[in-house]
Structure 1
Amino acid sequence: MNGISKTIVFLAVLVSVLFPTSTWAETSKLLDCSISSAVNCSSYIYLRNVTEPINSVPSRLKISALDISPFNVHDYLAKIPCSCSDNFTFSYRVNYTVQPSNVGLVLQEISDKYFSHTAWTVNQSRILDLGDKVELALGCGCPIPGWKSIISYVVTDDDTLFEITPKFHSNLDAIVKLNNIQDKRVIMSDWVYFIPYHQEKHHRRARGIVIKVSVSLAGTILLLFLLIIPFYYSCRRRGSSLTQSSTYIDNEEAQYWGEQRKQEQNLDQGLSALTNLTYEEIIQMKGYCERSYKIGQGSFGKVYRGNLKEKDVAIKKIRRTSKDSKRLVENEVGLLHGKEHKNLVNLIAWCVEEHTFYLVYEYVNGCTLDEYLRENSSIPSLSWKQCLKVIASIAEGVEFLHLSKIIHVDIKPQNIMLDIRTNEVKIIDFGFSRHVDWEGTHKTTERITGTRGYWSPEYCFNHNLSYKHDIYSFGIVVLEVITGQRHVDNARGSSQFHIPDYLLYMIANNRFEQALDERLKGDCRNESDLMNALAVTELALKCAEKDKEERPDMGYVVRELCLMREKSIDIESSEMDR
């Protein structure tokens, strides 16, 4: 690792320690001052989906209205003064006065709401009052050799480097080098990336937008005609050879997309061969979807209730809208096919059509754990004994996955179903799950999304997955079950923002009983129940350790929970005998 990389890593760790809430430093790669010969410069921030009046943005950023320019219909570039004021990283400091609509927010919410996630908090997060003046630092960068300026850009779920590069007329290798990216195919959603940029090309683009608004219809048609001719001949030249592809996408990228197309073709063939439904069953299954027996909806499709082979089933209908949806289906079928466990939802059948995937699962009569915790379900309150059974069942399901060399990746309350009859749980949604090697590790080769707060720290920093990632997520879920609170909550204050910090604080101050879910306080009526709940909490805190080496494996967790359940049953039996 070179000096620059060491400095970047040091600063990332330093800032994450200083600002324990979700700060800009946790979702970006800090840009070291030493990589540029300039100390002061003009930089850009990419403002996405601006819905407020654009004339309000300059006053908030403390810049001129002339420094805001359109990038496309809804997005803008804001030109800001950038400097190496702290001798470590580039930034632009902004003082913001809290308005009536901001009262009750914390600093990071101000950053996310008004500065497109590109700012980090200079002071510790706290609840804001009207008129408070807060200081924010906007991440920026001065140019590197060969480029005029730098754009601070927040990555979305749909972004790839191969799409970002031509969008800004940039260069893939320059982006990779500037952001110290290890794999061109891997970028993190919500992270700030720095894009080398020639503003002259943007000015031409901005003028083009103005022209399209102001010129007459005839002039617009003529302009488009003049643009189409060179584009047509360019496409013909481009199609003649892969080596003559776009100047913004190199041969390696073209080869990558070629491999992706082959994989998609293989996916269709492979899943079609595995489909185990008759024609009549497919028609029946599609009929349930068309009659709108909808019971839920996820990020990639809708879920309907039906009946197949005399069994109640849940049918997930997924539109083939992107490469991601195809990969998720392939992944879920490949991982679940032939695997059955009482705490995993059973995949019964699947079907592939030209524009749609259908995945058929056993029907779970209940709600998600998230719905139960937020008091939005019809399930009555669980006793402590039932909660302990739920926690143990989740652990047994995760242990089975790990024994099958699978990392779930996205363990969270929304992906855990509660059966209303048995209080058993079913883990669902395996689209992001991954097979691992015999050591239980997996280096990501593509962007994997999930829910922040349930991610393990090592995955956030270096994209490495292991069994310990699921164990961390499991620990956070257990703490939510015990407290009934969300994994992150601004109302608890910056020092207790994340639920492990909150529980550690309450235990240290002999207030553990106060931290229990209101539905459990009455049930944990004796000292033995309370000590049992405390023991489970301490086990969950071990699972949620920041250092993955300090976390136990899931086999140990299951054994400990079984012992705790047995002890709880013995105590209950002895009390009944009295």
Structure 2
Amino acid sequence: MNLSHVLLLSIWIFFSFCLFSPVILSRPDSTVSSISVPGLSLEGKKPISFSQFSAQMEAQSPGMPVVVVQHQDLNKRILIALIVASSLLGGILLFLLFFCLCRQKKLKKPNLETKENIDAVNTTSNRSSDRFSSLRMAGRKGSIAVIEYQFLEAATNNFQESNILGECGQGRLYRGSFDETFLAAIKRLDGGGQDVDREFENELKLLSKVQHPNIINLLGYSIHGRTKLLVYEMMQNGSLENQLHGHSGGSVLTWPLRLKIAVDIARGLEYLHEHCSPPVIHRDLKSSNILLDSSFNAKLSDFGLAVFSGTTQNKPVKLSGTLSYVAPEYLLDGKLTDKSDVYSFGVILLELLMGRKAAEKVSPSQCQSIVTWAMPQLTDRAKLPKIVDPAIKDQMDLKHLYQVAAVAVLCVQPEPSYRPLITDVLHSLIPLLPVEHGGSLRIA
């Protein structure tokens, strides 16, 4: 029975009670409709009052009882019945009104877990099959799924060490196997704290809005107590850092592949700097945050420290990131602009050219940056071929080497105003990249 039926039933009960209550309440008392007294005739007489009539009755028939109809008692009972019925109906109506208000409030009250999510986030079903479908669809449509912690725990075999892909900022990155064909990378942030919470919310907020072929795709997330997890698409070839400085020593990365990776990074940065509103500064661009898929397409990842450029104007920004990639003006004065990302890109470009790490130890207590080591030799055409990574030394045209080296020199200039925009960098590199790798160079 719905609410309208209850209201109609209540009103019907009220009016029925009002109509029949006088009859019911008056039944115990006999009502005298006419009085016949022997010897008494009222014909031809004037109307007499009740007291006169009573006196006559006593005079003519001493000792005979007089029957009196108490109409006032009947009126009182009717009035009481009406008051009781009105009160009853009023109570029913107040109860129904209170019930309706509570129901509407309950329906409008937002779910707390959904409120914590970024606008436009898609939730998943409780069943494992539905959760998996939502996760797979997230990769296709660019949506973000809310995933149960137990589902991720099972995918990583309770976060076993054998599934660790690497360290990442405030946590670890795990391999998640959801079935035989679908894999994902799961970043686990433990311990809570302001830094962890801020980075988690920052990355979730930014990646829920950003969609680009050269920016990592966020599939879903989960919150379990103080543990927060982010689920990304799987990048089969790991990070650029591992490919350059891992066991292979960069031998897998040919010169065309390295140049393609540089162009991919530049395209991702151009999207952040030129096509996002407001523009985004990555702030933690480094080779370990450049991930490679099965075809060595490069994607920017780890946006926990990213900021919008409008929030950094005319005020110093707290230093964050890896020192060997940090621009001098940001390191010394806290000035952060899009040119700070260009400096970090220049360091990565030097890594691709030289095959050396961004910072290497020269003594137990001292490290030397690749910029300090390479700068005196980058502008010397006689020395430049000698410092190129031996793995690619014979794979590149010297003319192209000089051009790429010139771009790298401009990117790592100490003065930000001397550095080019990332768009100019991209336009300088695309003509050097073969067409089959996404460039414009046609090789005969």
Query: TM-score, normalization: structure 1?
Result: 0.48
CA contact (8 A) 2:155 2:178 kept: no
SS in 1 for 2:206: helix
Counterpart residue number, 2:394: 522
When residues 410 and 402 of structure 1 are mapped into structure 2, their CA distance, relative to the original with a 3 A threshold, is same
How far the C-alpha of 1:338 sits from its partner, in A, is: 2.7
CA contact (8 A) 2:385 2:393 kept: yes
Matched, 1:333 2:204: yes
Deviation sequence 1:134-174 (CA, Å, 0-9, x none): xxxxxxxxxxxxxxxxxxxxxxxxxxxxxxxxxxxxxxxxx
Matched, 1:347 2:218: yes
Matched, 1:534 2:405: no
SS in 1 for 2:410: helix
When residues 509 and 392 of structure 1 are mapped into structure 2, their CA distance, relative to the original with a 3 A threshold, is closer
Counterpart residue number, 2:416: 548
Aligned equivalent of 2:166, options 286, 296, 310: 296
How far the C-alpha of 1:427 sits from its partner, in A, is: 1.2
The 5 A counterparts of 1:174-213 are none
The one-letter amino acid paired with 2:282 is: H
How far the C-alpha of 1:398 sits from its partner, in A, is: 1.1
Matched, 1:417 2:288: no
How far the C-alpha of 1:269 sits from its partner, in A, is: 4.4
Moved more, 368-377 or 501-510: 501-510
CA contact (8 A) 1:318 1:357 kept: yes
The one-letter amino acid paired with 2:117 is: L
How far the C-alpha of 1:444 sits from its partner, in A, is: 4.9
Counterpart residue number, 1:54: none
Counterpart residue number, 1:182: none
The 5 A counterparts of 1:182-331 are 269-271=115-117, 274=121, 276-280=123-127, 281=131, 282=148, 283-289=150-156, 290=158, 292=160, 293-307=163-177, 311-331=182-202
Higher-strand-fraction structure: 1
CA contact (8 A) 1:346 1:362 kept: yes
The 5 A counterparts of 1:138-149 are none
Question: Matched residues in 2 for 1:566 and 1:379: separation?
Answer: 20
Matched, 1:385 2:256: yes
CA contact (8 A) 1:368 1:416 kept: yes
When residues 369 and 422 of structure 1 are mapped into structure 2, their CA distance, relative to the original with a 3 A threshold, is same
When residues 442 and 317 of structure 1 are mapped into structure 2, their CA distance, relative to the original with a 3 A threshold, is farther
CA contact (8 A) 1:484 1:517 kept: yes
The 5 A counterparts of 1:400-415 are 400-403=271-274, 404=276, 405-415=279-289
Aligned equivalent of 2:383, options 506, 511, 520: 511
How far the C-alpha of 1:497 sits from its partner, in A, is: 3.9
How far the C-alpha of 1:442 sits from its partner, in A, is: 7.4
CA contact (8 A) 2:215 2:300 kept: yes
The one-letter amino acid paired with 2:219 is: I
How far the C-alpha of 1:348 sits from its partner, in A, is: 1.0
Question: Matched residues in 2 for 1:267 and 1:542: separation?
Answer: 48
How far the C-alpha of 1:443 sits from its partner, in A, is: 3.8
Counterpart residue number, 2:230: 359
Question: Matched residues in 1 for 2:165 and 2:184: separation?
Answer: 11
Counterpart residue number, 2:358: 487
When residues 277 and 379 of structure 1 are mapped into structure 2, their CA distance, relative to the original with a 3 A threshold, is farther
SS in 1 for 2:310: coil
When residues 338 and 272 of structure 1 are mapped into structure 2, their CA distance, relative to the original with a 3 A threshold, is closer
CA contact (8 A) 1:487 1:498 kept: yes
Counterpart residue number, 1:472: 343
CA contact (8 A) 2:214 2:297 kept: yes
Question: Matched residues in 2 for 1:358 and 1:367: separation?
Answer: 19
Aligned equivalent of 2:332, options 446, 461, 468: 461
When residues 285 and 382 of structure 1 are mapped into structure 2, their CA distance, relative to the original with a 3 A threshold, is same
SS in 2 for 1:518: coil
- Kindly name which structure, 1 or 2, has the bigger radius of gyration based on alpha carbons: 2
SS in 2 for 1:313: strand
The 5 A counterparts of 1:442-461 are 443-444=315-316, 447-461=318-332
The one-letter amino acid paired with 1:428 is: S
When residues 267 and 475 of structure 1 are mapped into structure 2, their CA distance, relative to the original with a 3 A threshold, is farther
CA contact (8 A) 1:305 1:315 kept: yes
Question: Matched residues in 1 for 2:241 and 2:426: separation?
Answer: 22
Unmatched segments (≥5 aa) in structure 2: 1-111, 132-147
The 5 A counterparts of 1:85-96 are none
When residues 377 and 361 of structure 1 are mapped into structure 2, their CA distance, relative to the original with a 3 A threshold, is farther
Matched, 1:427 2:274: no
CA contact (8 A) 2:215 2:301 kept: yes
The one-letter amino acid paired with 1:318 is: L
Question: Matched residues in 1 for 2:341 and 2:419: separation?
Answer: 11
CA RMSD of aligned residues (A): 3.0
Question: Matched residues in 2 for 1:271 and 1:531: separation?
Answer: 51
Deviation sequence 1:161-196 (CA, Å, 0-9, x none): xxxxxxxxxxxxxxxxxxxxxxxxxxxxxxxxxxxx
CA contact (8 A) 2:346 2:409 kept: yes
The one-letter amino acid paired with 2:356 is: Q
Q: Figure out how many residues of one structure are paired with residues of the other and give that number.
A: 299
CA contact (8 A) 2:431 2:440 kept: no
Question: Matched residues in 2 for 1:272 and 1:523: separation?
Answer: 47
Question: Matched residues in 1 for 2:234 and 2:265: separation?
Answer: 18
The 5 A counterparts of 1:71-110 are none
How far the C-alpha of 1:552 sits from its partner, in A, is: 0.7
Counterpart residue number, 2:427: 559
CA contact (8 A) 1:301 1:318 kept: yes
When residues 490 and 325 of structure 1 are mapped into structure 2, their CA distance, relative to the original with a 3 A threshold, is closer
Question: Matched residues in 2 for 1:484 and 1:453: separation?
Answer: 15
Question: Matched residues in 1 for 2:124 and 2:373: separation?
Answer: 50
Query: TM-score, normalization: structure 2?
Result: 0.61
How far the C-alpha of 1:488 sits from its partner, in A, is: 3.0
How far the C-alpha of 1:476 sits from its partner, in A, is: 0.8
Deviation sequence 1:90-126 (CA, Å, 0-9, x none): xxxxxxxxxxxxxxxxxxxxxxxxxxxxxxxxxxxxx
CA contact (8 A) 2:255 2:392 kept: yes
The 5 A counterparts of 1:46-125 are none
CA contact (8 A) 2:174 2:185 kept: yes
CA contact (8 A) 2:283 2:341 kept: yes
How far the C-alpha of 1:311 sits from its partner, in A, is: 3.7
CA contact (8 A) 1:277 1:350 kept: no
When residues 396 and 442 of structure 1 are mapped into structure 2, their CA distance, relative to the original with a 3 A threshold, is farther
Question: Matched residues in 1 for 2:225 and 2:368: separation?
Answer: 46
How far the C-alpha of 1:390 sits from its partner, in A, is: 0.9
